[in-house]
Amino acid sequence: LLTSSVFAQNKWSLSATMQTTQGNYIFENSTSTYYFYSTLRYQNDRFSVSASLPFIAQNSDLVSRTGGMFLPTGEAHHREDETGESHHGGGMRGGMANFNLGLGDVFAYGEYQLITEIGSRPAIAATVQIKFPTASTEFNYGTSEYDYGVGLTMRKRLGSVATFFDLGYTVIGDPAGVEYKDPLIAGAGLGKFFGDGRYSVLLYYQTYSEVFDGLEPPSQISLGFNYRMNSNVFLSMTGFAGLSETSPDFSLSGGVQWAF
């Protein structure tokens, strides 16, 4: 969110991000996920487009990344309900030797500015996103189905303070034997710039409508720190805390973005 405020326009950028996520979700055992992805992005003063290619290491097949979030799978949920235990146990169990590696789903995102920020008027942009089913289904890294999403984003800069509001709707592709509810997604954030815009922090809250019948919808809060080394290099680190049973317990991500 904040890179749009500090990076020059009409530029390509390439980013590399590492994210680690852990949680029990609705299961007895914990699932650990390492998620590395590179993103190519183009931005000008009116629109931006990006595409991300991820690689995943995970120690169970209980969780998939779909609909823009990590979710307990419907298959695992069904089996745990019937047997009282999860399909494959989580936990570290001897380190990386118990992790499976695979390619994740390619994610594309586009944003077009409908209203430009002028004076007291906020900037409003329309967004569109699509998930291409490139992930391996052997370890349950993907659903083998497309996801689609549309939304609106509002941003307003007040001196060194920036506010963000998001509202969206996502259609989640249903794999065989699983039926997801397509969620509404809402988010709100507050950012603060320091040191002539070189440093920034962002507090952000995001929540979904119900995805599984009878289970709390996903929601999380995050706190990010960002550092602009120069006009072309941007560093970031963000911590996330899950606020519901269908969200990860915690997550930590760090990355670097280069503009060229």
- pLDDT tens for each residue of 113-163: 999 999 889 999 999 999 999 987 777 787 888 999 999 999 999 989 999
- Each residue of 199-216: b (16+ CB within 10 Å) or e? ebebebebbbeebbeeee
For the entire predicted model, the pTM comes to: 0.84
Distance CA 105, CA 141 (A): 8
Band (pLDDT 50/70/90 cuts) for residue 60 is: confident
Contact 170, 109 (CB under 8 A): no
The DSSP bridge pattern shows strands 100-103 and 147-158 to be: unpaired
End-to-end CA distance of the chain: 19
DSSP the chain: --HHHHSPSSEEEEEEEEEEEEE-TTSSS-EEEEEEEEEEEEE-SSEEEEEEEEEEEES-SSEEEETTEEEE-HHHHHHHHHHSS-SS--S-SSGGGG-EEEE--EEEEEEEEEE--BTTBPEEEEEEEEEE--S-TTTTS--SS-EEEEEEEEEEEETTEEEEEEEEEEEPPPPTT--PPPPEEEEEEEEEEETTTTEEEEEEEEEE---STTSPPPEEEEEEEEEE-SSSEEEEEEEEEE-STTS-SEEEEEEEEEE-
Range scoring the smallest mean pLDDT among 63-72, 108-117, 149-158, 202-211? 63-72
Tens digit of pLDDT for each residue in 11-29? 899 999 999 999 988 888 8
236 with 4: CB under 8 angstroms? no
| pLDDT at 66 exceeding the cut of 90 | no
Residue 45 has pLDDT above 80, yes or no: yes
